[in-house]
């Protein structure tokens, strides 16, 4: 202790021109973090700040070093404060300069570059360094490690390892703690064979009990990392001046090309000790993070010892920095640091580990809850004391860690059923049908309508869903209960339910279902969307939501007689390309059956080069997608390609995916490629209520995924073909229903056409086959399409033929644009429909 | 006969029709109005009950002396009292001894006229409004980042076409149910809904992913999301380079928000954080919307900026069906903050401290720019200093119930008692009106014409459908009469005439209404500002070309997690957060008087997690006392599964012993002056075993 009478009087009241001199020794996370907190409290006006850091960089996030080693994180992304941050905040940074002496009586520091600098306040944030156990051969001399031996502490360590792994094949890691395991994982990522050498019997013994350590070991070994426990390393072997292996106390040994030592850390306290500050395991501080010997000297981070505890984690450092800054800047002179709760979390490839607080019960009344499932590598324990969580270990499954850590940090109330802390218990919610619901259950929350009220309304004589909704206002708020309301009304009305006509309208703005609408359109010879509205909509009102659906229907009915009004179309259909996130377009030329040629590939390559296409992508439909084209280039691109449109944008027939078929495939039983091309040639480009994606596959191995297509054809033994319809593998997954099994490709083509036409005529707008087929029922569809029970097969065939005949490649519009602005460049980011409900467009 | 008009409540301003040929008036939803498409919530469907309500004030009330009851009086007597009190305060304390406190439910015309009345007629700097308690943080953030503050920069219907929607502290399923149609439409198309809320609200139940952070940690969460996006290289570098400034500082700041750390701060599992980031980044179109849950904090404006940073890094603002917005709460929360009832603003979203703006507006008002006062105190600061040496001594409160809605409400009531004179205009006797020296009965929504600006920035028209009861006057008329009594230049009381002046005053400002007229609004179902000329189509979507900042780029702002000012400790071990219920609105002045609504939510109920209820030793329906450093309230217990066990939720619609704002913390956001309504430390204790009284059910004593 220094006699206080010898001290200079302290400058207490800073003001303009009267700022205190703050010197910070150490530019790691602790020093940097504390400075940020000081600056946030107006520290720039109170202090002239100088920072000494012996690493020659700005400050960086040390805990991400293992990510850097593993190649997950860019080095650039771990810097917290680059050099210019110091300049911007008027901080004098002396990087690469080491402070060698503190003269506390003179309040001056000396640095290894000859600097002598006076301070009013001193902040020691010297951190810690790797502890190297006494092992023979580890060092070449006092300061040089044997080549191939590394600590794992700094960016320099990391860079050196990343350089060295290029020529290394095997590595040893001494220390099976948190950092050692992360180092092992990092090295393994670079293709090295890695063995972890742990002197104690248990991995991560600071955090885990023996059971957990055992399970962790199993999991780590399953990842291909060897583990050797209870092994004390006695010597490093070298060959040609580099490490070649390790020797252990039990007489065994191992070979390795490199060694990472991660056997703990030691606080950097030499400077403080020489300055006469009290040092135990680290520099001893009070609750204000001041050295207990000197009110002008503050200490933060891994070099500080507070109430007997030295912290090697980042969260405590954060908490210390806040208290220190509050106190140093006099923002809150009563700020006191109570110590931190310790928690860690790491992931060794697939193995997650989290640990907080104590690892085993300590008091007789401690409640210890355990779950162990070694086969899956899962182990969980919690320790509860006086109703509060005081410790937890999670291994293999850390899904509950967020809850536990908050319960641990904040003393959250814990559920009586402790298992809820370890597992997500299913709520056990089951769908209750309309019949089982109790009468007083609220069906419509927005308007407070119960099932009983709905039923009462039906009994009162209202038999339509819309009528009940209008009278009770159920479903007239947010609308999300509409389907439940319908179910209840239908249940309550029994056979009396009157179908709400609007539910079956093809589009919302025209009050007819699809067959009626088609009849009217044919009778009145309505060839354009606007004429349909004028003739059939209430008051002739146009309805934006109905336009695209009507355009599609008219195109189907009238084929080439359809009067195409461009405003009825979505941008994709206006420019025959698929708009992308950034306002550019994608172009997919037709590639029938996914079969291409040298010439096609060469042309595509030339086009891609000429227009600087940023991405060329193979599509799921076996085509080539040129992405990132500008709208104004589209006509020229199509001209240069000289290939027809692949229709990768519209509500239309898209493509036929095929497998290799019989020519080359050893398993093929039917010539799927030829049939696929034939189908695509015939039905190319025909419009429909939704996309139509097809596939033909040459054997039941189903390489072309025919079972989950709108229509899929599968060759089976005996030269026969199965036709599946209504499959999907998008947002909805559905296996198609078997429509028919036929004997030859001609029949496949006929039934395909008939099915597609029936779908085009009967599905609602935007209703894909996966919804339409189950709605109508496969039996019904089969009876019409295959068995012709309704006698319309011939007409269906004729109408699809008409559609086939009307086919024209839309990319020919390049020669005469449909409207003057069709391919004009859109200003960036402005392609938008009118205000109103925007129509679905994926 | 039917009249097309709009619902009196929230910022959705649903289109309704009133059939006034019958009594009670029949109310229907407009099927084609773009924000509600035929939907209305329970509040909207029952709004007609406010017309002809027996509690309506139909005559002015005056109090002869403190402690005496209010008694009916003539308008002449009441206005003479008010004018006399204003003169007395001006003489004794100077112009700033008189203050005005407005509301976000007032029409644009009233908000504009109130600002003019304060600055040109009374020449006081002391005017602010309850919108300070709602939108100020989001408004401040949007102005800093985009150079303009319009709640949604796109029509609400665009939500239906987005592919990923992040809602932060927003619960439209309860607060504006008809808006859920658009969210549901998006979900039906496969869009991902992500909700950030400490409670499992009805909106959160619909989400693909629900993140449930501790109150006041949204900012850390946003920074964590951005940290993940940067690490996974999912940010839009071209957009950042071409359309923004300031990203480097943000990139550096969010390096400290790695997922582990954010998990510990917020309680949101790392895996959910990563998943949310990916859902947003991988969507073709994505939207981020914040609301009061994120904004009503002492770091609310920085929190909004953190989400704006996220939106900018993803390249969303200005892209189709994408962007950042805030979901405005009050009926005219948007228009109310554009035309001059805010302490620092002049019409057209101009700044009061901008010399050019002062000259422009002074010219229209026919005064010298030097006569315009400087910016005054923000809402809570004004209330906090009522009756003190440098404070307001005579206060006119218009359409606001500060005794229930201001933070630390007990203190605010005390300050009101310290005034020389309090006059309140309202159409019911609110808790605040009950304390006044003079109460002036106002016309209500169905009885007056005026424009409102909804959450989309769409200016709409409410049309008078019915004559007001005899004895009731419009606030515009009151201002005209007071100006005359104070012998100041004449003011108009005709809404359309005032709107014409507002058009000129706003011309050239950020919120430019110059091209908007009543006839256009009717013909076009509302007009989106800015609309600088009669031929201009209005602006449904902002930012498609650039941003209205000096360099035409949006600005990133590095922001740091600070957390709530109060955190739980041994004495106050839990978080209290407040919010709205489906069937109530604001301080409940209106909705608590509507029988169907009051019956559904008869008493104030606090939501508790089962494990917290167990620790406190209470069960469903029991009374509990909630206690903070500022006060104590009583509420009934409801046990809910979907709330964090360290957090209790209480609605703010009730007065008396259940007025939750007796508890809330008036710590203010340094940028927006928004109080910290959404998080403070609370103790929860078993209440009195005997039921003293119904809690919150009565409207006032």
* Separation CA B104–CA B9 (nearest Å): 10
State the DSSP H helix or E strand holding residue B289, giving kind and residue range, or none if neither.
strand B286-290
Q: Cβ of A415 and B583 within 8 Å? A: no
Q: For the segment B147-182, what is each residue's pLDDT rounded down to a tens digit? A: 999 999 999 999 999 999 999 999 999 999 999 999
Is B434 within 8 Å of B700 (Cβ atoms)?
yes
Query: Is the pLDDT assigned to residue B508 strictly greater than 60?
Result: yes
Q: How much is the mean pLDDT over chain B?
A: 93
Q: Which of B198, B273, B285, B163 is nearest to B236 (CA)?
A: B285
Find the radius of gyration of the CA atoms of chain B: 24
Q: State whether B39 and A840 contact (CB < 8 Å).
A: no
- Flag if B269 and A61 touch (Cβ within 8 Å): no
Per the CB < 8 Å rule, is B45 touching A401?
no
By residue count, chain B amounts to: 701
Retrieve residue B625's tokens: 């006392």
- Rounded mean pLDDT of B260-280? 94
B 546-585: CB under 8 A from A: 560, 568, 573, 582-583
Asked if A478 and B177 come within 8 Å (Cβ–Cβ), the reply is: yes
Name B338's Cβ contacts closer than 8 Å, sequence gap at least 6. Answer: B108, B111, B345, B347, B348, B349, B453, B506, B511
Asked whether residue A256 carries a pLDDT value surpassing 80, the answer given is: yes
Q: Which of the residues B170, B185, B254, B264 would you substitute to probe the A interface, choosing the one with the greatest number of A C-beta atoms within 10 Å?
A: B264
- pLDDT band with cut points at 50, 70 and 90 for residue A690: confident
The answer to whether B285 contacts A581, with C-beta atoms less than 8 Å apart, is: yes
Give the closest residue to B580 by CA, choosing from B405, B397, B337.
Answer: B405
Q: Is A79 on the interface with B (CB under 8 A)?
A: yes
Say yes or no: A315 contacts chain B, CB-CB below 8 A: yes
CA distances from A187 to A62, A66, A131, B287 (A): 17, 10, 20, 40
Phi-psi region of A80 (alpha: psi -120 to 50; beta: other; left: phi over 0): alpha
Beta bridge partners of A652: A687
For the cut 60, the answer to whether the pLDDT of residue A431 exceeds it is no
Any idea what DSSP says for residue B46? T
- Residue-level pLDDT at B201: 93
Tokens, residue A476? 């007239």
Query: Which residues in chain A (462-491) have CB-CB distances under 8 A to chain B?
Result: 473, 476-480
Q: Is B158 on the interface with A (CB under 8 A)?
A: yes
Q: Phi and psi at residue A80, in whole multiples of 5°?
A: -95, -50
Residues B120-126, mean pLDDT to the nearest whole number: 97
Q: A477, B163: Cβ pair inside 8 Å?
A: no
DSSP A278-327: -BSSSEEE-TTSEETTEEEEEE-GGGEEETTEE--SHHHHHHHHHHHHHH
Q: Does position A306 have pLDDT exceeding 50, yes or no?
A: yes
CB A17, CB A11: distance < 8 Å: no
Q: Is the peptide bond before B530 cis (omega within 30 degrees of 0)?
A: yes
Q: Is A617 on the interface with B (CB under 8 A)?
A: no
Burial of A123 (0-12, 13-18, 19+ CB in 10 A): buried
Cross-chain residue pair A401–B263, CB shorter than 8 Å? yes
Round to whole Å and give the CA distance between B233 and B314: 10
Model pTM score: 0.76
| Structure confidence at residue A221 as a pLDDT band (50, 70, 90) | very high
pLDDT surpasses 50 at A5: no
A389: left (phi over 0), alpha (psi -120 to 50) or beta: beta
Q: Report the pLDDT value the prediction gives residue A393, as an integer from 0 to 100.
A: 93
For residue B210, give both structure tokens.
């629900």
Best residue in A336, A418, A478 for a mutation probing chain B (most B CBs within 10 Å): A478
**Cα-based distances in Å from B530 to A256, B338, B344, B363, B552:** 71, 12, 21, 22, 16
Phi-psi region of B23 (alpha: psi -120 to 50; beta: other; left: phi over 0): beta
pLDDT at A569: 62
Indicate whether B697 pLDDT > 50. Answer: no
B579 pLDDT exceeds 70? Answer: yes
CB distance from B237 to chain A under 8 Å?
A: no
pLDDT in tens, A369-391: 999 998 888 999 999 998 889 99
> Which single residue is written with the structure tokens 């004018």?
B83
With an 8 Å Cβ cutoff, is B39 touching chain A?
yes
Q: Do B258 and A63 touch (CB under 8 A)?
A: yes
Q: Residue B418: name the closest of B390, B440, B385 by CA.
A: B385
Residue A839 to chain B, least CA–CA distance (Å): 7
Chain B: residue nearest A830 by CA?
B544
- Tens-place pLDDT, residues A713-746: 999 888 899 999 999 887 677 889 999 999 999 9
Taking the Cβ of residue A81 and every Cβ of chain B, the question of whether any pair is shorter than 8 Å is answered with: yes
Distance from the Cα of A813 to chain B's closest Cα (Å) equals: 26
Nearest to B192 by CA among B126, B288, B269: B288
C-beta of residue B405 within 8 angstroms of C-beta of residue B133: yes
What would the mean pLDDT of B109-136 be, rounded to a whole number? 96
Partner A contacted by B319 (CB < 8 A): yes
pLDDT at B689: 63
A429 at interface of B, judged by CB pairs closer than 8 A: no
Residues from chain A contacting residue B596 (CB–CB below 8 Å)? 448
Query: pLDDT for B282-304, tens place per residue?
Result: 999 999 999 999 999 999 999 99
Asked if A689 and A704 touch (Cβ cutoff 8 Å), the reply is no
A345 near B CB under 8 A: yes
Task: Please provide residue B426's backbone torsions phi and psi, each rounded to the nearest 5 degrees.
Answer: -165, 170
According to the model, what pLDDT value does residue A170 have?
Answer: 96
CA distance A410 to chain B (A): 8
Q: How far separated are the first and last CA of chain A, in Å rounded?
A: 75
pLDDT higher than 80, residue B381: yes
pLDDT of A73 over the 80 cut = no
Instruction: Determine what percent of chain B is predicted with pLDDT higher than 90.
Output: 86
**Which of A:399-428 have CB within 8 Å of B?**
399, 401-403, 405-407, 409-416, 427
Please provide the average confidence, as pLDDT, over all residues in chain A: 85
Give B207-262 pLDDT, tens digit per residue.
999 999 999 999 999 999 999 999 999 999 999 999 999 999 999 899 889 998 99
User: For testing the chain B interface, which of A829, A834, A842 should be mutated: the one with the most B CBs within 10 Å?
Assistant: A829
pLDDT of B120 > 90? The answer is yes
For residue A460, the model assigns a pLDDT of 86
How far, in Å, CA of A24 to CA of B638, rounded? 53
Whether chain A has a CB inside 8 Å of the CB on B173: the answer is yes
Which pLDDT does position A3 carry in this prediction?
44
Q: Which of A620-624, B310-314, B620-624 has the highest mean pLDDT?
A: B310-314
Residues of A in contact with B256 (CB under 8 A): 61, 80
Distance from B28 to chain A by nearest Cα, in Å?
10
* pLDDT single digits (tens) A619-660: 888 889 998 888 788 888 888 888 888 877 778 888 899 988
Q: Decide if A733 contacts A708 (C-beta within 8 A).
A: yes
Residues A157-202 have pLDDT tens digits of: 999 999 999 999 999 999 998 889 989 988 998 999 999 999 999 9
Nearest CB to A835; choose among B45, B540, B611:
B540
- Taking the C-alpha atoms of residue A203 and residue A176, their distance in angstroms, rounded to an integer, is 5
Which residue from A80, A345, A446 is facing B42, i.e. has the nearest CB?
A446
CA within 13 Å, CB half, A269: 23
- CB proximity B256 to A under 8 Å: yes
Segment B22-32 shows an average pLDDT of 89
Whether A399 sits inside 8 A of B270 (CB atoms) is no
Question: What number is the ipTM of this complex?
Answer: 0.78
Residue B328, min C-alpha distance to chain A (Å): 18
Q: What is the pLDDT of residues B425-464, one digit of tens each?
A: 999 999 999 999 999 999 999 999 999 999 999 999 999 9
SS3 A791: coil
Interface of B with A in 43-62 (CB under 8 A): 45
Q: How would residue A464 be classed by pLDDT, with cut points 50, 70 and 90?
A: confident
Hey, is the C-beta of A601 within 8 angstroms of any chain B C-beta?
A: no
Which pLDDT does position A339 carry in this prediction? 92
Pair type for strands B438-441 and B421-426: parallel
Residue A82: closest C-alpha in chain B: B252
| A positions 19-58 inside 8 Å of B (CB) | 40
- Cis geometry, peptide bond prior to residue B24 (ω within 30 degrees of 0): yes
Express each pLDDT in A350-360 by its tens digit.
688 899 999 89
Asked if residue B136 has pLDDT above 60, the reply is yes
Q: What is the DSSP string of A406-437?
A: HHHHH-PPPPSSTHHHHS----------TTTS
CB pairs under 8 A between A and B: 167
* Residue A215: its H or E element: helix A210-222
pLDDT tens digits, one per residue of A660-676: 878 778 778 888 899 99
Interface test with B, best of A387, A412, A840 (most B CBs within 10 A): A412
Cα(B367)–Cα(B344) distance, integer angstroms:
18
Position B694 scores a pLDDT of 55
The least confident of A188-197, A511-520, B25-34, B659-668 is: A511-520
> CA geometry: angle at B292 spanning B155 and B224, to 5°?
90
Distance from CA of B562 to the nearest CA of A (A): 11
Contacts of B230 in chain A (CB under 8 A): 77
CA pair distance B616, B608, nearest whole angstrom: 10
Q: Chain A: nearest CA to B566, how far in angstroms?
A: 13
Residue A429's pLDDT band, with cuts at 50, 70 and 90, is: very low
């Amino acid at each position: 202790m220094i006699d206080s009478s010898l001290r200079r009087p302290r400058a207490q009241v800073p003001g303009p021109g009267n700022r205190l001199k703050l010197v910070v020794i150490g530019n790691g996370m602790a020093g940097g973090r504390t400075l940020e907190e000081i600056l946030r409290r107006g520290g720039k006006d109170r202090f002239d700040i100088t920072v000494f850091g012996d690493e020659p960089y700005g400050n960086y996030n040390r805990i991400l070093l293992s990510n850097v080693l593993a190649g997950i994180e860019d080095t650039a992304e771990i810097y917290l404060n680059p050099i210019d941050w110091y300049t911007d905040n008027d901080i004098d940074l002396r990087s690469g300069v080491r402070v060698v002496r503190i003269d506390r009586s003179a309040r001056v520091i000396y640095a290894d570059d000859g600097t002598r600098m006076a301070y009013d306040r001193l902040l020691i944030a010297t951190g810690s360094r790797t502890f190297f156990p006494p092992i023979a051969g580890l060092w070449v001399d006092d300061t040089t490690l044997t080549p191939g031996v590394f600590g794992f502490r700094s960016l320099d360590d990391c860079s050196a390892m990343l350089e060295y792994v290029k020529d290394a094949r095997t590595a040893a890691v001494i220390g099976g703690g948190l950092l050692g395991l992360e180092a092992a994982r990092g090295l393994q990522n670079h293709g090295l064979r890695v063995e972890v050498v742990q002197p104690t019997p248990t991995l991560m013994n600071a955090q885990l009990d023996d059971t957990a350590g055992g399970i962790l070991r199993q999991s780590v070994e399953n990842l291909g990392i060897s583990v050797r426990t209870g092994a004390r390393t006695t010597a490093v072997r070298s060959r040609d001046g580099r490490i070649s292996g390790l020797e252990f106390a039990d007489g065994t040994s191992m070979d390795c090309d490199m060694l990472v030592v991660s056997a703990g850390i030691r606080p950097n306290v030499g400077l403080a000790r020489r300055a006469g500050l009290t040092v135990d395991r680290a520099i001893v501080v009070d609750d204000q993070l001041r050295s207990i010997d000197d009110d002008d000297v503050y200490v933060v981070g891994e070099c500080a010892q507070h109430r007997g505890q030295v912290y090697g984690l980042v969260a405590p450092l954060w908490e210390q920095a806040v208290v220190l800054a509050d106190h140093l800047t006099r923002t809150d002179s009563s700020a006191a640091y109570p110590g931190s709760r310790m928690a860690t979390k790491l992931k060794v490839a697939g193995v997650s580990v989290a640990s907080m607080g104590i690892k085993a019960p300590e008091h007789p009344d401690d409640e210890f809850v355990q779950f162990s499932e070694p086969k899956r590598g899962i182990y969980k324990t919690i320790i509860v004391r006086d109703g509060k969580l005081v410790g937890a270990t999670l291994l293999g499954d850390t899904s509950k860690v967020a809850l536990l850590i908050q319960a641990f940090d904040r003393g959250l109330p814990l559920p009586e059923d402790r298992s809820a802390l370890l597992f997500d218990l299913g709520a056990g919610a089951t769908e209750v049908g309309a019949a089982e619901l109790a009468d007083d259950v609220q069906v419509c929350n927005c308007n407070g309508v119960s099932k009983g009220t709905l039923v009462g309304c039906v009994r009162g004589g209202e038999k339509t869903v819309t009528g009940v909704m209008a009278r009770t206002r159920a479903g007239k708020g947010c609308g999300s209960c509409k389907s439940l309301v319908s179910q209840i009304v239908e249940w309550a009305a029994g056979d009396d339910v009157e179908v709400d006509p609007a539910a079956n309208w093809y589009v919302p703005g025209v009050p007819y279902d699809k067959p009626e609408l088609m009849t009217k359109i044919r009778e009145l010879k309505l060839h354009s969307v606007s004429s349909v509205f004028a003739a059939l909509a209430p008051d002739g009102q146009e309805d934006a939501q109905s336009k695209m659906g009507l355009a599609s229907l008219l195109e189907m009915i009238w084929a080439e007689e359809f009067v195409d009004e461009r405003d009825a179309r979505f941008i994709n259909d206006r420019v025959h390309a698929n708009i992308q996130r950034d306002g550019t377009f994608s172009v997919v030329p037709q590639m029938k059956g996914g079969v291409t040629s040298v010439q096609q590939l060469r042309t595509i390559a030339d086009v891609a080069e000429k227009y600087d296409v940023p991405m060329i992508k193979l599509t799921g439909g076996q085509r080539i997608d040129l992405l990132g084209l500008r709208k104004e280039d589209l006509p020229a691109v199509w001209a240069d390609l000289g290939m027809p449109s692949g229709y990768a944008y519209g509500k239309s027939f898209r493509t036929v995916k095929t497998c290799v078929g019989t020519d080359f495939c050893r398993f093929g039983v039917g010539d799927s490629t030829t049939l696929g091309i034939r189908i695509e040639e015939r039905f190319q480009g025909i419009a429909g209520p939704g996309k139509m994606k097809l596939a033909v596959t040459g054997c039941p191995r189903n390489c072309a995924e025919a079972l989950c297509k709108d229509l899929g054809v599968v060759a089976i033994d005996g030269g026969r073909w199965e036709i599946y319809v209504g499959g999907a593998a998008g947002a909805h997954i559905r296996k198609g229903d078997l429509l028919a099994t036929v004997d030859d490709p001609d029949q496949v083509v006929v039934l395909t056409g008939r099915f597609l036409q029936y779908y085009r005529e009967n599905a609602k707008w935007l209703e894909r086959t996966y919804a339409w087929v189950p709605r109508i029922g496969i039996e019904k569809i089969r009876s019409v399409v295959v068995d012709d029970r309704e006698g319309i097969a011939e007409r269906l065939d004729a109408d699809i033929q008409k559609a086939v005949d009307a086919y024209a490649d839309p990319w020919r519009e390049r020669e005469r644009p449909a409207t003057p602005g069709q391919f004009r460049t859109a200003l960036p980011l402005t392609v938008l429909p009118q205000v109103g409900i925007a129509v679905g467009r994926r | 006969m039917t009249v097309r008009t709009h619902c009196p409540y929230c910022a959705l301003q649903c289109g309704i029709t009133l059939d006034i040929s019958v009594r009670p008036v029949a109310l229907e939803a407009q099927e084609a109005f773009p924000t509600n498409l035929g939907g209305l919530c329970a509040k909207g469907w029952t709004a007609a009950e406010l017309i002809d309500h027996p509690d309506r004030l139909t005559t002015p009330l005056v109090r002869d002396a403190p402690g005496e009851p209010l008694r009916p009086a003539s308008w002449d007597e009441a206005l003479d009292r008010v004018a006399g009190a204003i003169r007395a305060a001006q003489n004794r304390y100077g112009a700033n001894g008189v203050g005005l406190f407005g509301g976000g439910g007032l029409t644009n015309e009233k908000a504009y006229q109130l600002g003019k009345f304060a600055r040109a007629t009374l020449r006081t700097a002391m005017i602010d409004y309850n919108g300070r308690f709602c939108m100020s943080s989001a408004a401040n953030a949007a102005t800093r980042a985009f150079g303009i503050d319009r709640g949604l920069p796109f029509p609400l219907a665009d939500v239906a076409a987005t592919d990923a929607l992040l809602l932060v502290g927003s619960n439209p399923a309860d607060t504006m149910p008809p808006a859920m149609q658009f969210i549901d439409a998006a979900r039906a198309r496969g869009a991902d809904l992500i909700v950030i809320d400490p409670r499992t609200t009805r909106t959160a139940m619909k989400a693909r992913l629900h993140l449930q952070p501790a109150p006041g940690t949204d900012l850390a969460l946003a920074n964590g999301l951005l940290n993940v996006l940067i690490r996974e290289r999912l940010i839009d570098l071209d957009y950042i380079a071409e359309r923004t400034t300031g990203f480097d500082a943000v990139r550096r700041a969010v390096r400290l928000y790695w997922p582990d750390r954010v998990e510990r701060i917020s309680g949101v599992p790392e895996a959910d954080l990563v998943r949310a980031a990916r859902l947003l980044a991988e969507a073709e179109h994505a939207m981020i919307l914040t609301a009061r849950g994120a904004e009503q904090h002492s770091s609310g404006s920085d929190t909004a900026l953190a989400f704006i940073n996220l939106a900018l890094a993803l390249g969303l603002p200005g892209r189709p069906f994408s962007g950042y917005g805030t979901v405005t709460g009050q009926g005219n929360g948007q228009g109310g903050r554009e035309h001059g009832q805010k302490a620092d603003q002049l019409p057209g979203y101009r700044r009061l401290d901008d010399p050019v703006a002062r000259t422009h507006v002074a010219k229209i008002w026919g005064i010298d720019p030097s006569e315009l006062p400087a910016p005054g105190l923000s809402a809570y600061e004004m209330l906090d200093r009522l009756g003190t040496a440098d404070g307001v001594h005579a206060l006119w409160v218009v359409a606001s119930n500060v005794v229930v809605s201001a933070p630390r409400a007990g203190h605010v009531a005390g300050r009101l008692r310290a005034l020389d004179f309090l006059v309140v205009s309202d159409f019911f006797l609110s808790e605040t009106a009950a304390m006044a020296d003079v109460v002036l009965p106002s016309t209500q929504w169905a009885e007056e014409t005026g424009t409102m600006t909804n959450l989309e920035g769409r200016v709409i028209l409410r049309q008078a459908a019915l004559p007001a009861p005899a004895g009731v006057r419009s606030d515009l008329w009151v201002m005209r009469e007071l100006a005359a009594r104070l012998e100041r230049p004449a003011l108009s009381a005709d809404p359309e005439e005032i709107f014409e002046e507002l058009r000129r005053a706003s011309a050239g400002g950020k919120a430019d209404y110059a091209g908007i007229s009543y006839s256009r609004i009717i013909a076009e179902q509302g007009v989106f500002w800015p609309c600088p000329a009669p031929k201009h189509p209005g602006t449904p979507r902002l930012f498609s070309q650039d941003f209205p900042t000096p360099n035409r780029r949006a600005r990133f702002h590095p922001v740091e997690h600070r957390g709530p000012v109060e955190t739980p400790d041994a004495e106050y071990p839990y978080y209290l957060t407040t919010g709205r219920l489906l069937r109530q609105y604001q301080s409940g002045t209106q909705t608590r008087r509507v029988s169907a609504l009051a019956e559904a939510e008869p008493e104030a109920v606090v939501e508790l997690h089962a494990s917290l209820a167990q620790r406190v030793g209470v069960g469903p329906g029991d009374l509990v006392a909630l206690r903070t450093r500022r006060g104590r309230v009583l509420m009934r217990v409801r046990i809910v599964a979907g709330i964090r066990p360290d957090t209790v939720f209480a609605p703010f619609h009730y007065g008396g012993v259940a007025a939750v704002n007796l508890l809330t913390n008036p710590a203010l956001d340094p940028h927006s002056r928004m109080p910290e309504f959404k998080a403070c430390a609370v103790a929860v204790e078993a209440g009195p075993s005997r039921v003293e009284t119904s809690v919150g059910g009565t409207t006032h004593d």
